[in-house]
Amino acid sequence: MTLRLFNTLTGQLDEIVPSDGKALRMYACGPTVYDYGHIGNFRTFLQVDVLRRYLKLTGMRMLHVMNITDVDDKIIRNASAAGVPIGDYTPRYVDAFFEDLDSLRVERPEQVARATEHIAQMVSLIQKLAEAGAAYKTDDGSWYFRLKAFPEYGKLSKKDLSGMEDGARVDVDEYEKDSARDFALWKAAKPGETAWDTPIGRGRPGWHIECSAMAMEYLGESFDLHAGGEDLMFPHHENEIAQSETVTHKPLARHWMHVRFLLVDGRKMSKSEGNFYTLRDLLLKGYKASAIRLALISVPYRHQLNFTFDGLTEATNAIDRLRTFHQRVTKGSFPAGSNPALQAAAGKARTEYMAALANDLNTAEARAPIFDLIRTANTAIDQGQFLAGDRDAILAVLADFDAVFDVLEDRDDEPTRRALAWAEQSGRMAEVAPELLARQSLTDEAIDALVAERTLAKRQRNFARADQIRNELAEKGIVLEDAKDGVRWKRK
């Protein structure tokens, strides 16, 4: 089903189709690697993941490019505070970012592009802007974009910028949301700062030019879709449009997708408010990566997500329900035949699920028919009306659900172990929740051994020992399920 997605540029839902008839060419602004990513950042990357996974589920091919901003004001400030060159400062955060994406099961884009590896393309674009009379050099050797050279400035964010001052300049990467000023394309070298010797002088790029240069390098002068968090709409994306379209006279991207910022407990997330969380903070509190993923994607991208710990608990329970049901259907043995009512329910759930996602990626509405189907199928199983021939139909719907949501298989142990190893290395063990430490202190092998001992104790009618083992495991968050075919255990 063709996706209809809200387009900031046109102000309406537009159909997403590859203009070359082959693959969707898409650029999504990536992280600035000056610190660990927070859940706001990951909400945006996860919603882009939902977009690409849904498109792939409909059979579309993708050419998705993401940049890594590995030079900017904040990086330079932090690196200089740490007394190291930026090239020594950023790798740790680049690695951490990809580790976090893996924890959250965010698919890698087809192409990742680092700013510091594309300086030549940026310089060449600035030269073209200069030739077009849209870039000028100041006395200190910096280059600026002349806003007056691009009369369409403001068309994305719909800001009325008629009162903007000609020649007023701004040289910081991020600036006031209500003013439009000539912005820095290239910043002249300052003593002690990383700089490149180039035909336009010695210096380093501004933030905005990197996305224009790298997007056009990999996707051509005009491509299908550009995405990012809502804060990037102005000035970052507006500046990207100005820099690119002044040179190409073609729309940089036909479609612009912006993900709404999240709130935490109803307030803006900020370090000073004490409601600021990185992914690692939440893992160390004992929350599972899958629950964080589900909580961050279950509110559609254009709605404000109010992140709360209750929300995480709800996501944890929903995943439990999904996994238990999946196991029940996969492992159960059912009478021969197929139940037409269940077959119809499966078909309906899939249609509604796909339709909800096709409608501006409405993840909340997409979840509902899946959980309805689980309820219906569970009742059928309880009543002996779930038949062997229904299994594939139900599992196929779950597979489509999971192609986008990706929470069904329990892969939560690895992210948690990785976070614990990181806490140990970086002296943050004090931040780890005691329940998590207790839970992780048991290896899978140790649990298997205790479960085997309990089975033996029961067989020998030593129920006191069997109960003792069950309680001991429960204290460490290990839940036992006695099934016909043996005992299963899982970490809570």
Residue ranges in contact with Zn ion by CB under 5 A: 29, 211
The helix (run of H) or strand (run of E) holding residue 455 is helix 444-459
Residue 229 binding target from ligand AMP, Zn ion, none, CB below 5 to 8 Å by type: ligand AMP
**Separation CA 104–CA 406 (nearest Å):** 9
Q: Is 384 exposed, middle or buried (0-12, 13-18, 19+ CB in 10 A)?
A: exposed
Cβ at position 112, least distance to Zn ion in Å = 13
Cβ at position 277, least distance to Zn ion in Å = 24
6: β partners: 13
If one asks whether residue 295 binds ligand AMP (CB under 6 A), the answer comes out as no
| Pairing mode of beta strands 263-264, 306-307 | parallel
Whichever of 237 and 454 has its CB closer to Zn ion, that residue is 237
Q: List the structure tokens of 358.
A: 């096709």
Q: What type of residue sits at position 1?
A: M
315, 291 Cβ separation under 8 angstroms: yes
> Number of residues in contact with ligand AMP, rule: CB under 6 A?
15
**How would DSSP label each residue in 267-299?**
EE--TTTT---BHHHHHHTT--HHHHHHHHHSS
What phi and psi values does residue 186 have, to the nearest 5 degrees? -150, 130
Cβ at position 370, least distance to Zn ion in Å = 34
Q: List the structure tokens of 469.
A: 């083992």
Whichever of 155 and 348 has its CB closer to Zn ion, that residue is 155
Measured in residues, the chain has a length of 492
**Separation CA 26–CA 106 (nearest Å):** 16
Whichever of 44 and 376 has its CB closer to Zn ion, that residue is 44
C-alpha Rg value of the chain to the nearest Å? 26
Residue 370 binding target from Zn ion, ligand AMP, none, CB below 5 to 8 Å by type: none
Residue 32 binding target from Zn ion, ligand AMP, none, CB below 5 to 8 Å by type: ligand AMP
Contacts 24+ apart (CB under 8 A), 10-17: 11/158, 13/360, 14/254, 14/255, 16/55, 16/224, 16/225, 16/255, 17/224
Residue 211 binding target from ligand AMP, Zn ion, none, CB below 5 to 8 Å by type: Zn ion
If one asks whether residue 43 binds ligand AMP (CB under 6 A), the answer comes out as yes
If one asks whether residue 121 binds ligand AMP (CB under 6 A), the answer comes out as no
Q: Is 63 helix (H, G, I), strand (E, B) or coil?
A: strand
If one asks whether residue 136 binds ligand AMP (CB under 6 A), the answer comes out as no
Q: Using CB under 6 A, which of 7, 18, 24, 31 touches ligand AMP?
A: 31
Print the binding letters for residues 388-417 with ligand AMP: x by CB under 6 A, - otherwise.
------------------------------
Q: Among 166, 53, 170, which residue's Cα sits nearest to residue 108? A: 53
Write out the binding residues for ligand AMP, residues 209-228 only, by CB under 6 A: 228
Write out the binding residues for ligand AMP, residues 11-30 only, by CB under 6 A: 29
If one asks whether residue 279 binds ligand AMP (CB under 6 A), the answer comes out as no
Cβ at position 146, least distance to ligand AMP in Å = 26
Cα–Cα separations (whole angstroms), residue 486 to 446, 453, 480: 17, 13, 10
If one asks whether residue 232 binds ligand AMP (CB under 6 A), the answer comes out as yes
Cβ at position 155, least distance to ligand AMP in Å = 20
Which residues, in sequence order, are CB contacts of 132 under 8 Å at separation 6+? 149, 246, 247
Write out the binding residues for ligand AMP, residues 249-268 only, by CB under 6 A: 259, 261-262
Cβ at position 256, least distance to ligand AMP in Å = 12
Cβ at position 449, least distance to Zn ion in Å = 52
Whichever of 32 and 339 has its CB closer to ligand AMP, that residue is 32
Q: Is 442 helix (H, G, I), strand (E, B) or coil?
A: coil
If one asks whether residue 44 binds ligand AMP (CB under 6 A), the answer comes out as yes
Cβ at position 175, least distance to Zn ion in Å = 15
Whichever of 44 and 142 has its CB closer to ligand AMP, that residue is 44
Chain-centre distance for alpha carbon 390 = 34
Residue 121 binding target from Zn ion, ligand AMP, none, CB below 5 to 8 Å by type: none
If one asks whether residue 109 binds ligand AMP (CB under 6 A), the answer comes out as no
Whichever of 100 and 412 has its CB closer to ligand AMP, that residue is 100
**Separation CA 373–CA 397 (nearest Å):** 9
If one asks whether residue 363 binds ligand AMP (CB under 6 A), the answer comes out as no
If one asks whether residue 67 binds ligand AMP (CB under 6 A), the answer comes out as no
> Which range in 39-47, 116-124, 241-249, 467-475 contacts ligand AMP by CB under 6 A?
39-47
Angle at CA of residue 483, ends 479 and 489, nearest 5°:
25
363: β partners: none
Q: List the structure tokens of 129.
A: 């802007």
Q: Which residues bind ligand AMP (CB under 6 A)?
A: 29, 31-32, 40-41, 43-44, 228-229, 231-232, 259, 261-262, 269
